[in-house]
Structure formats: structure tokens, C-alpha cells
């Protein structure tokens, strides 16, 4: 690995070197990963920028040595779609940076601050007289720090929690007594998690260190000689886990798990073995492993990850276990897009992405067959294809370790996401039976629930702002703190739309935000206009425009200025403003500017009724 990467670097074959680097994962040798992280810093910025456009600024404030993990965080965030500029505090100055209101950190303008901490930062004795008082004061100390960091620097905070240590001078009492060091560590973690401010997210180092083994995780000698909180073998896992949280913060987590069927969801081949012959359920060890994997997938689905099926099968056979096998955990209704045919899987996967209105780069494809994996890897390199282990008992760990679906919040929309796609089947039938498109829209009986961004919907609105790629005019990403600042500004306009139709609730699907020009009260600038693709061509754009016009008339605004900033993904809305009757007034390097005079009657119409 290292040698081939070195050859590419020396030969100046930068694009190929970058692809190699992007394909690296934390289970690879630490030496190779550290070499790749160093190589990454030597690649021309333009090459990386071209491949991974999304750029964020991350500050790592260290309670332990940060130098070894920072290059690895950069490496792993990149493969998850975020190109990071990273600021590092001087050793151990994680508190001073915040309390001194560090000018250099302000100048850096972080999008996220990572607190890289360790249990030693708590300086707990092995036993404390009054354990609960100590827990309270330490939890408050760190909560204050995290909250202040998030508020002062107007950014998200990702903070390590504290890892329980392997040694325990109190012996077995360590497990039951609240005033031992480990007892206090457990309580401090809980107290911080329970009182966590909205823009502060906990990085679960306690879990990671247990998962990888405490004695591997901590390298006492490395702590004594270099103040490293994590041993070399585990640093890649630490860094990748931070990378996954950063990806989740900026909407780069994957959205859909595409599953094969035979020997992936059950053992054997349904077409040959039949309903009674496949291995699934209690009694057969492998059968239990497949049930466990289905349970994991179902749990992903319940919190908003879409499930799809891409199987080489007759549809009738493929569907049979979902409908009739008593031990199936996944049912027909859990699968948002079900494709079973004999066509090549890369094409089927593209179809799945189209039907679900998501990019192929938000898919993870899980298939036991190495040939299918290879086909998809070579034909659709943007699809994540984990190396599925031979043993079905290891499937859950394979998916869980890779952490492609990490999330920092779960909203009602997430929980209901699959149901939206179920409703789509009914909508498709109606569209076929309706005489024309207008009649279809009328028969959908759409009702919009509208309102500004508020405490009630801020989590979902922020999520939509950060996740939406296609129907997004400016692709401006905002943290929850920034959204909160926006809604408090008296000159700002924010609008959200939740769309319900006869087939179900589509959830909060659009956000429009703008501000009245501070020096010209007659002008409103549209800063954000974005919509979930699941409600394309339903007239929501016109509906949202109507509301924007009403606001403008009410506030005496006479002119609306809109911007379209092209990205590789938002061609869909290239003519959005044109279609609404705006006229183009300017084209610059970044995009185009559009103007609408509020007095002009709206030329488009819709069939959405409103509920406030």
C-alpha cells in the first residue's frame, strides 16, 4: 500500500494518489495510514478541492497531544466528503483558548470545535470523600466550557467524553461505589450528556475504548512520554469516528442502505431452496446471525436511514420471505425501493437513487457476492461498498464499525421517512389514473402547514439546510446556532413548509430565508431557498413564492433579489428563478443574480391549501 502510494506521489500522478488515499479505512496498518495522511498534505490543494468540494474549518483543542490524530482526522473526514482546514491549540490549552476568548481562534472562524480530552484532564483521585459533589462540579466545569465555546465562536462543539480506565485499586468495589475514579467518570459522562446544550455533541470515547479494548486503547507509556490519550493502534479509529461526526454535522452521512437478498438477508438462495429451505431464524446458527443483521438494519430504518433491495431474483421469489417467512424481521413496508430482476446491479442501484431522489453518493451497497461488489465499485466509485465478511455473524460489526450512517440528531421526519416512500406508491398510481397532471395535483388534496423557523422546527430546518443538495439555490450551510441568530434578526424572513396530502405527511420539506437590505428597506435578498426532492413538481415553489410576496407587500418591500450558485449537484434549480418570473440581472464567477418586482403578478399557480 505504502509503496504503491509512494510511487504515485513521486510520479506526480496526484489524482490516482488521492483515489488511493480516499479508499483507506481505519482497519489498515497505522504506518500506511500515517504515511497517507502525510502524503495528503503534499497533494496540490486544487486536486483535493476538485474531488471533495465541501470545505469546513475545524479547531482541535487538546487536553492531550493532538499532533498524531489531526492528520488522521483530515484523512478520514475527506473520505466522508468533508475537506477540513484544521487549527490546533497548543498542548493542553483547551480551556484557555475558550476563556481567554482567543483572538487567533476567532480569526480562524471555526465551523466546529473538537475537544480532544482524556480522563487525566479530570485529575480525579482514585477515591474521593464526597463523590457526588465532585461529579457535580466537574460536570458543570465542562458543560460551561462547551457551552461557552459554542456561543463565543458561534459553532458546533464535538467533545470527547471520558473513558473509564482499566486499573482499579478498589478492586470489585469499583463497579458499585460511586466515589471511585471510575464511578465518578461514569456519572460525569451522564451528567454532561443530560444537560448538553443544543449545539454540543458528545463523541463517545468511552464506547470506542471499550469496543477496541481498553488495554489497546490506552498506551500508558505513550501517555507518559508524549501525553497521547490514545495509543497508535487505536488513533485511526478515534480519528475516523470524529470524521463520521463531522460528516453527520454537515449532512454527509449516507442516506440509504442497499441490500442484496440471498446470503445477505438470509442464508441460501430463495429461488432454489424455497421458503422452507433458506436459513433464517432460531435453530440454525447462521439463521440467527441473519436475524441479528436484519434487526440492525431495521433499527437504522426506524431512525431515518432508507432501506432498498437490489437482488438478482424473480420478483415473486424475492418478495416471498418478506411476506410469508415467520422469522423475517424486515417486512415489505420497511423497504423504500425494491428491485429484483436479472439486470446488472450498477444500473439497478442508479434506478434506486433516482426513485428515492437521492444521489448515488449517499448509498451504501451491502452484498455478500465479491463480483457484484467489484462491479459496483468500478462502475459507481461514489457508492460506498463495504468489504462484506464471509461469516454472516460479522455483518453487523462490519456495518457498525464503518459508521457511514452516523447521526447527531433524530427528528420526527427521520422516523417517518420510510413511510413517505410507501405513500409514493399510492401517489404513483394516482398519477397514472389522473386525466392530466393538474387533475393529479388536485386529487392529492395537498395541505401546507406553514410558519417561520422556530424552536419547534429548528432541528429539522437545520438538518434540511445542511443535507439538501439538489433543490438548493445557494447551498449555504448553517449550524443550529447560526440559524438561531438568523431567526432573532428583525430584518430577516424565514419560512418553512410542511406538506400533507391524502397519502400521508411529507414532513417539513422546504425552507426559504432572506433578509431585508439594511441600507434599502425596499429590497429583500433571498439567502436560502431549498426543498426536499421528495415533493418535486408539486407546486411548492410557487406556494413558497406566494408567501414570500405576501411578506414583502406587508413590509413595504418592492424588489426581491435571488441568487443561484451552481454546484455539481443543483443543476435541477438552474432555471428556478426564471420559471417563477424573475429576470436575470447579473452573472459573476460564483453564479447568477435574479430580480423580481413585487408588483408583478405571479404567472404560475398551485393546488395547495394552507393551514397556519
> How far is residue 130's CA from residue 128's CA, in Å, rounded to a whole number?
6
Q: What is the bridge-based pairing of β-strands 492-501 and 504-516?
A: antiparallel
The reply on whether position 503 binds another protein by CB under 8 A is: no
Name every residue whose Cβ is closer than 8 Å to that of residue 412 and which is 6 or more positions away in sequence: 460, 507
CB of 225 to another protein, least distance (A): 6
Q: What is the bridge-based pairing of β-strands 306-312 and 112-116?
A: unpaired
> How far is residue 456's CA from residue 496's CA, in Å, rounded to a whole number?
11
- Interface pick for another protein out of 4, 7, 55, 67 (rule CB under 8 A): 67
Cell matching residue 448: 401546507
- Interface pick for another protein out of 123, 172, 224, 436 (rule CB under 8 A): 224
Of 37-45, 186-194, 407-415, 449-457, the window that binds another protein (rule: CB under 8 A) is: 37-45
CB of 116 to another protein, least distance (A): 15
Strand ranges inside 117-266, DSSP E:
156-160, 200-203, 256-259
The reply on whether position 2 binds another protein by CB under 8 A is: yes
Q: What is the CA radius of gyration of the chain?
A: 26
C-beta closer to another protein: residue 4 or 604:
4
CB of 338 to another protein, least distance (A): 48
CB of 41 to another protein, least distance (A): 10
> How far is residue 61's CA from residue 298's CA, in Å, rounded to a whole number?
37
> Is the torsion defined by CA of 447, 451, 453, 455 positive or negative?
negative
Mark out the alpha helices in 227-284 (DSSP H runs): 235-249, 270-277
> How far is residue 219's CA from residue 227's CA, in Å, rounded to a whole number?
10
The reply on whether position 218 binds another protein by CB under 8 A is: no
Cell matching residue 476: 449555504
The reply on whether position 235 binds another protein by CB under 8 A is: no
The reply on whether position 43 binds another protein by CB under 8 A is: no
> How far is residue 60's CA from residue 91's CA, in Å, rounded to a whole number?
10
Sheet with 446-451, strands from edge to edge, namely 583-587, 592-597, 559-564, 523-531, 504-516, 492-501, 446-451, 608-611
> How far is residue 273's CA from residue 288's CA, in Å, rounded to a whole number?
18
C-beta closer to another protein: residue 220 or 410:
220
Of 31-39, 391-399, 442-450, 482-490, the window that binds another protein (rule: CB under 8 A) is: 31-39
- Interface pick for another protein out of 8, 14, 26, 35 (rule CB under 8 A): 35
Nearest by Cα to 479 from 148, 253, 248, 255 = 248
- Interface pick for another protein out of 36, 60, 228, 549 (rule CB under 8 A): 228
> How far is residue 205's CA from residue 159's CA, in Å, rounded to a whole number?
9
The reply on whether position 117 binds another protein by CB under 8 A is: no
- Interface pick for another protein out of 34, 89, 187, 470 (rule CB under 8 A): 34
Of 35-43, 46-54, 426-434, 585-593, the window that binds another protein (rule: CB under 8 A) is: 35-43
> How far is residue 418's CA from residue 612's CA, in Å, rounded to a whole number?
26
Of 226-234, 352-360, 433-441, 519-527, the window that binds another protein (rule: CB under 8 A) is: 226-234
The reply on whether position 89 binds another protein by CB under 8 A is: no
| Residues in binding contact with another protein, number by CB under 8 A | 17
The reply on whether position 225 binds another protein by CB under 8 A is: yes
CB of 7 to another protein, least distance (A): 12
Binders in 511-530 for another protein, by CB under 8 A: none
The reply on whether position 65 binds another protein by CB under 8 A is: yes
Residue 187: helix, strand or coil by DSSP? helix
Give the H or E element holding residue 512. strand 504-516
CB of 31 to another protein, least distance (A): 6
Task: Name residue, grid cell 463531522.
Answer: 246
The reply on whether position 100 binds another protein by CB under 8 A is: no
The reply on whether position 39 binds another protein by CB under 8 A is: yes
- DSSP tag of 207: H
- DSSP tag of 164: P
Of 65-73, 286-294, 483-491, 575-583, the window that binds another protein (rule: CB under 8 A) is: 65-73
The reply on whether position 221 binds another protein by CB under 8 A is: yes
> How far is residue 5's CA from residue 20's CA, in Å, rounded to a whole number?
7
CB of 85 to another protein, least distance (A): 21
> How far is residue 381's CA from residue 361's CA, in Å, rounded to a whole number?
8
Instruction: Return phi, psi of residue 469, to 5°.
Output: -110, -35
On whether the CB atoms of residues 246 and 77 are closer than 8 A, the answer is yes
Binders in 450-479 for another protein, by CB under 8 A: none
CB of 232 to another protein, least distance (A): 5
C-beta closer to another protein: residue 68 or 115:
68
CB of 219 to another protein, least distance (A): 9
Instruction: Return phi, psi of residue 413, to 5°.
Output: -60, -40
Question: Within its chain, how far is the Cα of 365 from the centroid?
Answer: 17
CB of 226 to another protein, least distance (A): 4
Binders in 68-87 for another protein, by CB under 8 A: 68
Q: Lay out the site mask for another protein across 310-339 (x = CB under 8 A, - = otherwise).
A: ------------------------------
On whether the CB atoms of residues 219 and 227 are closer than 8 A, the answer is no
CB of 97 to another protein, least distance (A): 20
The reply on whether position 226 binds another protein by CB under 8 A is: yes
The reply on whether position 232 binds another protein by CB under 8 A is: yes
Of 32-40, 54-62, 325-333, 582-590, the window that binds another protein (rule: CB under 8 A) is: 32-40
Nearest by Cα to 472 from 462, 484, 483, 464 = 464
The reply on whether position 307 binds another protein by CB under 8 A is: no
> How far is residue 308's CA from residue 356's CA, in Å, rounded to a whole number?
9
Nearest by Cα to 331 from 262, 411, 422, 400 = 422
C-beta closer to another protein: residue 221 or 571:
221
Mark out the alpha helices in 457-539 (DSSP H runs): 458-467, 480-488
CB of 10 to another protein, least distance (A): 9
C-beta closer to another protein: residue 68 or 404:
68
Of 30-38, 394-402, 491-499, 530-538, the window that binds another protein (rule: CB under 8 A) is: 30-38
- Interface pick for another protein out of 15, 27, 31, 391 (rule CB under 8 A): 31
Residues of the shown chain interacting with another protein in the complex, contacts defined by CB under 8 A:
2, 31, 34-35, 38-39, 42, 65, 67-68, 221-222, 224-226, 228, 232
Amino acid at each position: 500500500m505504502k509503496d504503491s502510494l509512494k510511487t504515485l506521489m513521486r510520479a506526480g500522478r496526484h489524482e490516482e494518489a488521492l483515489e488511493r488515499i480516499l479508499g483507506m479505512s481505519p482497519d489498515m496498518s497505522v504506518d500506511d495510514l500515517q504515511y497517507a495522511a502525510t502524503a495528503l498534505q503534499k497533494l496540490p490543494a486544487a486536486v483535493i478541492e476538485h474531488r471533495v468540494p465541501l470545505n469546513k474549518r475545524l479547531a482541535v483543542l487538546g487536553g492531550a497531544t493532538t499532533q498524531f490524530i489531526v492528520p488522521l482526522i483530515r484523512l478520514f473526514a475527506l473520505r466522508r466528503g468533508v475537506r477540513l482546514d484544521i487549527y490546533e491549540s497548543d498542548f493542553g490549552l483547551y480551556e484557555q483558548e475558550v476563556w481567554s476568548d482567543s483572538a487567533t481562534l476567532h480569526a480562524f472562524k471555526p465551523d466546529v470545535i473538537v475537544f480532544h480530552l482524556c480522563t487525566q484532564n479530570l485529575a480525579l483521585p482514585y477515591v474521593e470523600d464526597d463523590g457526588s459533589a465532585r461529579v457535580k462540579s466537574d460536570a458543570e466545569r465542562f458543560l460551561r466550557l462547551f457551552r461557552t465555546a459554542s456561543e463565543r465562536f458561534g459553532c458546533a462543539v464535538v467533545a470527547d467524553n471520558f473513558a473509564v480506565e482499566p486499573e482499579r485499586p478498589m478492586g470489585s468495589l469499583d463497579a458499585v461505589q460511586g466515589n471511585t475514579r471510575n464511578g465518578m467518570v461514569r456519572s460525569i459522562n451522564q451528567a454532561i450528556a443530560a444537560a448538553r446544550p443544543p449545539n454540543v455533541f458528545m463523541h463517545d470515547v468511552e464506547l470506542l475504548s471499550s469496543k477496541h479494548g481498553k488495554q489497546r486503547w490506552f498506551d500508558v507509556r505513550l501517555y507518559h512520554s508524549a501525553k497521547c490519550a490514545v495509543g497508535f493502534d487505536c488513533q485511526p479509529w478515534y480519528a475516523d469516528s470524529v470524521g463520521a461526526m463531522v460528516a453527520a454535522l454537515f449532512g454527509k452521512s449516507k442516506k440509504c442502505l442497499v441490500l442484496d437478498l440471498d446470503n445477505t438477508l438470509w442464508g441460501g438462495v430463495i429461488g432454489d431452496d424455497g421458503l422452507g429451505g433458506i436459513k433464517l431464524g432460531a435453530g440454525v446458527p447462521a439463521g440467527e446471525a441473519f436475524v441479528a443483521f436484519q434487526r440492525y438494519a431495521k433499527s437504522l430504518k426506524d431512525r431515518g436511514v432508507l432501506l432498498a433491495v437490489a437482488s438478482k431474483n424473480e420478483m415473486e421469489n424475492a418478495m416471498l420471505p418478506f411476506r410469508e417467512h415467520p422469522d423475517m424481521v424486515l417486512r415489505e413496508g420497511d423497504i423504500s425501493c425494491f428491485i429484483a430482476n436479472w439486470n446488472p446491479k450498477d444500473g439497478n442501484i442508479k434506478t434506486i437513487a433516482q426513485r428515492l431522489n437521492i444521489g448515488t453518493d449517499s448509498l451504501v451497497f451491502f452484498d455478500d457476492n465479491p463480483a457484484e461488489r467489484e462491479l459496483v465499485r468500478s462502475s459507481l466509485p461514489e457508492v460506498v461498498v463495504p468489504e462484506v465478511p464471509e461469516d454472516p455473524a460479522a455483518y453487523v460489526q462490519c456495518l457498525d464499525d464503518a459508521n457511514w450512517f452516523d447521526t447527531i440528531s433524530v427528528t420526527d421526519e427521520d422516523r417517518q421517512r420510510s413511510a413517505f416512500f410507501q405513500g409514493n406508491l399510492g401517489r404513483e398510481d394516482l398519477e397514472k389514473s389522473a386525466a392530466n397532471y393538474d387533475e393529479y395535483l388536485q386529487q392529492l388534496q395537498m395541505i401546507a402547514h406553514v410558519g417561520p423557523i422556530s424552536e419547534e422546527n429548528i432541528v429539522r430546518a437545520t438538518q434540511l439546510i445542511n443535507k439538501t443538495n439538489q433543490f438548493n439555490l445557494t447551498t449555504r450551510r448553517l449550524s443550529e446556532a447560526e440559524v438561531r441568530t438568523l431567526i432573532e434578526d428583525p430584518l430577516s424572513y424565514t419560512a418553512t413548509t410542511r406538506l400533507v396530502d391524502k397519502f400521508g405527511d411529507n414532513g417539513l420539506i422546504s425552507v426559504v430565508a432572506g433578509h431585508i437590505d439594511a441600507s434599502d428597506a425596499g429590497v429583500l435578498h433571498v439567502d436560502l431557498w431549498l426543498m426536499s426532492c421528495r415533493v418535486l413538481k408539486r407546486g411548492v415553489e410557487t406556494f413558497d413564492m406566494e408567501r414570500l410576496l405576501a411578506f414583502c407587500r406587508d413590509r413595504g418591500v418592492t424588489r426581491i433579489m435571488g441568487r443561484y450558485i451552481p454546484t455539481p449537484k443543483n443543476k435541477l434549480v438552474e432555471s428556478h428563478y426564471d420559471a417563477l418570473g424573475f429576470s436575470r440581472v447579473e452573472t459573476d464567477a460564483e453564479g447568477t443574480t435574479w430580480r423580481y418586482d413585487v408588483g408583478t403578478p405571479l404567472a404560475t399557480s398551485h393546488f395547495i391549501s394552507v393551514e397556519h
